[in-house]
Amino acid sequence: MKKNFLKVTFATDKNSWILPYLKKFITQIKPKIKKVDLVFKSKDIKKGDLAFFLSFQEIVRQNILNKNTNNLVVHHSPLPKGKGMSPLSWQILEGKNSIPITLFEAVPELDAGKIYLQKEVNFDGTELLEDLRKIQSKYTFLLCEEFIERYPSVLEEAKDQKGKESFYKRRTPVDSELNINKSILDQINLLRIVDNVRFPAFFNYKGQKYILKIFKSTKSNE
């Protein structure tokens, strides 16, 4: 991949889970691209060719989108199904282990732009949040890299979103509550997606709240 004519911006949140993975990806592609910027606020986006918005919560207005020829978002659902927040987590909760990932054009409307690329991500059902994020980041950057590699001819493959749309809400700490009347097996997918730091699993019993943190067993902690 040699795209020495491209000016590319990556936008994410400062506290986003994807940031460490994104920094590594930028290091890998930087020698192949004319200019690469990493920003945490939409106001810091400069004029260029491509802007990728990855795990970026800020609402991006049209005047910002106008700064780049194309603006891209990666979303982990088969759009238009599963628009909104935390789509991967919600689908894992639904029992799905084969989940499409979609790269599409950013527009002012939520997750509504034309689709350029899609891949299927397969999980084995044993991954915890850290594992899920590693796989999620891998496929996110595969799509970004493919788009850059094939740009601008890839634009000719743009497809309108078709079908009935649906939306996922933002997950909150309350969504990590376990039901003490259900088995672990019944709630294994919830345990797979809880965040041990920000949104740990918990249950309430006789007025007391109990917090659980889940890790995979290794030789060092057995």
Q: Are residues 114 and 200 in the same domain?
A: no
Domain that holds residue 201: 173-212
What is the pLDDT at residue 219? 65
Q: What are phi and psi of 29, to 5 degrees?
A: -95, -15
- 158 within domain boundaries: yes
- 152 within domain boundaries: yes
What is the pLDDT at residue 1? 57
Q: Using an 8 Å Cβ cutoff, are 206 and 216 in contact?
A: no
Q: Are residues 71 and 157 in the same domain?
A: yes
Q: Are residues 138 and 184 in the same domain?
A: no
- 66 within domain boundaries: yes
| Model confidence pLDDT, tens digit, residues 53-64 | 999 999 899 999
Domain count within the chain = 2
Kind of pairing, strands 3-11 and 33-39? parallel
Tokens of 46: 């400069």
Which stretches of the chain score pLDDT less than 50? none
- 109 within domain boundaries: yes
Is 0.95 surpassed by the pTM of this model? no
Tokens of 218: 């290794």
Q: Using an 8 Å Cβ cutoff, are 97 and 68 in contact?
A: no
Q: Are residues 73 and 57 in the same domain?
A: yes
Q: Are residues 182 and 99 in the same domain?
A: no
Q: Catalogue the E-assigned strands of 12-88.
A: 33-39, 48-53, 68-75, 83-84
CATH number of 37's domain: 3.40.50.170
What is the pLDDT at residue 190? 98
Q: Are residues 12 and 49 in the same domain?
A: yes
Q: Catalogue the E-assigned strands of the chain.
A: 3-11, 33-39, 48-53, 68-75, 83-84, 98-105, 115-122, 167-168, 201-205, 208-212
